[in-house]
Structures are given as C-alpha cells and as structure tokens.
C-alpha cells in the first residue's frame, strides 16, 4: 500500500504518456506512478530514462504490463495492481493509435484499420476503465479520470471551412489522399462521448472526469515522424506532459466534464 498519490497511465513508455511520467516525476509532489506498457522491457527502459532526467525525484515507479486491445491483458493488469495496492487515485487513459497510415500504405484494409483504431482508442479504453473502476472508487482523495483525446476530435473544427484541414478535392473518384486522419479523429470524437458518459455515471461518486486535448505535439503518433510534425508547427511533447500534470494536481478541477486544452476549452 502506498501513501503517495497513485497514478496509472496507459501507453506510458512512449509519446505523451512518457512525458506525463516525466512531468509527474519532476513535480514537488511525490507520486507512485504505474507505468502501463505492452512490454515490461520498454516500461523498465522508460523508468530508467525518467530517473536519469529527474535524479532527485521523490516519486516511485512500477511497470504494469497492459495491452488495452486485450481483455485478458487488462484482467491480468488489474490483478497485478491489486496484489500490492488497495486503490488508484488517478487513471489516465492515454494509450492510443492512429491507423490511417496503415490504410495509405496498404498494410490494412479500411475496415481492418478502422476496427483496430476503435478497438484501442474507444473499446479498449472503455474496458480498461470499467475494469479498474473499483480501484479508482477506493481512492481516499479526489479520484480523477482522464481521457487523452485530440484537437482533431472537434466536430466544430472539422466543419470549419477556414481550417487548414478543411479541403475540398476535385470532383470525381478516386479522391486524392489528404492529411485528415479521419479514422483516428473519428475514434477520438467517440472517446469524448465516452468521457461524457463516465462524467454522468460518476458524478455522485465525486470522481472528476475530463477529456484532455494536449495540443499539436511532435510525438511518434501516426508514424509521421516527430521532425516532420515539427516542420508543420508541432510543439514539444513535454508541453502536453506538463499540462496533464496540472490537471492531476487540481489546477483544472473547475473544468471537469469538458474537453479541455491548455488555453481553455476545445469546441465540441
């Protein structure tokens, strides 16, 4: 049993999840951070790197092997946590996947890619949340439930003709491919609905729930490449990690039940 605030982060060995681990480790608050990773080795490597970057951290770490696309993996993960802990205080559903490049490259059919993207970003996240909910409700502090969404999930943004992503290709078929990531953004829009329902379900339990839009950041998501994303104006991933840490530490408690970004609210 830990007397520290216990945070479980899925997909925590890379990308935004890893940046959240780093941000929490450098905080003045002490955490027990459960680093969710599909691979134990990758989780261990991530922890070792964080300890190098934050050598004076007072936080502690443990790897939780979990693949959110597998119910069996999620069941084993919750059993692993229960073996040493009686609760978690914050669950950050960060694990996500962008399947659109798989369609463009021909590695997956449209149906395969869309189903796989929803399986990770929506279905797997729902199963993960359901399975770990008893541990989150056992929190003795203000429990927090965070869903990591995307700026691409905004319906208002997608419908804005002034958006850089709003393009009208020439008439005819087939249409040329465009940088719209429609499978990914559709799944993240669905994730926002999932968040709203959890906010409704958990209102009388005192759980604070958000969708977090960390911003356009240079991560490896979508196999585009961090340098290519930077050339398109993407910010540094640490910004997202620090923003999510602020939410964990209560700085956006008044905005629970919304899709939030570091500057305010993201339009639905």
Indicate which residue of 188, 208, 211, 213 is catalytic: 188
Known catalytic residue at 184? yes
- The answer to whether 75 touches 131, Cβ cutoff 8 Å, is yes
Radius of gyration of the chain (CA): 18
CA distances for 71 relative to 88, 106, 147, 191, 207, angstroms: 19, 28, 19, 18, 24
Among all chains, which residue has been given the structure tokens 């449209």?
110
CA distances for 228 relative to 1, 203, 218, 224, angstroms: 44, 41, 8, 7
Q: Report which DSSP code applies to 121.
A: I
Indicate which residue of 37, 59, 139, 150 is catalytic: 150
Known catalytic residue at 31? no
Indicate which residue of 18, 154, 184, 186 is catalytic: 184
Residues classed as catalytic: 150, 184, 188
């Amino acid at each position: 049993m830990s007397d520290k605030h216990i945070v479980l982060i899925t997909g925590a060995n890379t990308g935004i999840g890893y940046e959240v681990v780093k941000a929490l480790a450098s905080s003045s608050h002490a955490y027990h951070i459960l680093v969710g990773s599909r691979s134990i080795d990758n989780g261990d490597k991530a922890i070792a790197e964080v300890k190098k970057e934050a050598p004076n951290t007072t936080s502690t770490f443990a790897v939780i092997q979990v693949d959110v696309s597998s119910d069996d993996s999620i069941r084993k993960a919750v059993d692993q946590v229960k073996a040493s802990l009686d609760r978690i205080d914050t669950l950050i559903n960060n694990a996500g996947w962008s399947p659109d490049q798989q369609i463009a490259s021909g590695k997956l059919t449209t149906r395969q890619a869309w189903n796989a993207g929803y399986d990770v970003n929506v279905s797997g996240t729902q199963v993960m949340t359901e399975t770990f909910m008893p541990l989150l409700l056992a929190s003795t502090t203000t429990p927090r439930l965070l869903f990591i969404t995307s700026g691409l999930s905004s319906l208002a943004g997608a419908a804005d003709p002034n958006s850089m992503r709003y393009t009208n290709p020439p008439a005819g078929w087939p249409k040329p491919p465009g940088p719209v990531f429609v499978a990914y953004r559709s799944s993240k829009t669905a994730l926002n609905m999932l968040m709203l329902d959890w906010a409704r379900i958990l209102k009388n339990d005192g759980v604070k729930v958000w969708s977090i839009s960390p911003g356009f950041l240079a991560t490896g998501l979508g196999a585009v490449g961090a340098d290519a994303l930077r050339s398109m104006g993407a910010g540094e991933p640490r910004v997202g990690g620090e923003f999510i840490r602020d939410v964990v530490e209560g700085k956006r408690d008044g905005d629970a039940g919304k899709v939030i970004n570091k500057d305010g609210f993201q339009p639905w």
